[in-house]
Chains A and B, each alone.
Chain A
Amino acid sequence: MAERANGILLDTSVVIAHLRGSVDLQTLASPDEPLFLPLVALGELYRGVLKSARPESNRAKVDEFLEIAAVLYPDLIPAQRCDISEPLPSVQAKKDHAFPLQVGNVQNGAKFVQDERPLYCQCGFALCSFTKPSCVNRFEASPRVESQAHGRNVPTLSET
């Protein structure tokens, strides 16, 4: 079983799925696992707020969510590459760090990858996101993660 030692980097679609009730982040993440939201994802959420029928009410929901998720700003992105040479989260990084995945429910043409054995980026974040079916196939075909990836150690990934 994989051990998640750091935080969870939330994709916009996961936050929306949580708000819609199809994904429950409380069961997806353990209580002591910090939640992170990329600034780009926050922009997408606010765009959704503006497009919605009740922007004020929905803005309050997003803002409330922000009280428990730390926003990652673009100037931190170089830091994310602290020990890697590729930008994150590239498809290659996801692929190279993918455990065999279970594909869950299908919604709006997208498949949700169950987070029981999550994908990790090279900094140890669990990548928690909806993926297109084509990506799911690619991830399913990925080999189990190695302790060494691209010649670099990934200490946050371990098998118990």
Chain B
Amino acid sequence: MTVIETIVRDIQSLSLREQVQVARYVQRLSATARRKRGTVLRKTHGSLDEADGRAFEEAVAESRKMEAHG
């Protein structure tokens, strides 16, 4: 079993709260992850135009509409 496989196996036995703590710890350790995150957030920020933005919001509104049947 590789190191990563061992880590994944052990993490799977943790509660979600503990998994989040692990994620936060790994995030702190990983400079690559921080750089990547910054890059992706900068790139995606404002990347949707007005029409597509409206389409997304309409899709969410439709998804959350409650329909009574029967």
Contacts and interface: CB of A to CB of B under 8 A. Distances in A.
Interface of A: 6-7, 12-13, 16, 18-21, 24-26, 31-36, 43-45, 47-54, 58, 61, 64-65, 67-68, 70, 72, 76, 79-80, 82-83, 108, 123-125
A35 B49 CA distance: 24
Contacts of B24: 6-7, 32-34
B9 interface: no
Contacts of B21: 6
A11 to B, nearest CB: 9
Given A19-B44, A26-B41, A79-B15, A32 B56 contact: no
Contacts of A61: 44, 47-48
Nearest to A24: B45
Interface of B: 15-17, 19-21, 23-24, 27-28, 33-34, 36-38, 40-48, 50-53, 55-60, 62-64
Given A58-B48, A68-B36, A48 B17 contact: no
B20 A6 contact: yes
A16 B17 contact: no
Nearest to B48: A19
Nearest to A26: B41
A113 B43 CA distance: 24
Nearest to B64: A44
A45 B63 CA distance: 10
A7 B45 CA distance: 20
Contact of A7 (B23, B43, B44): B23
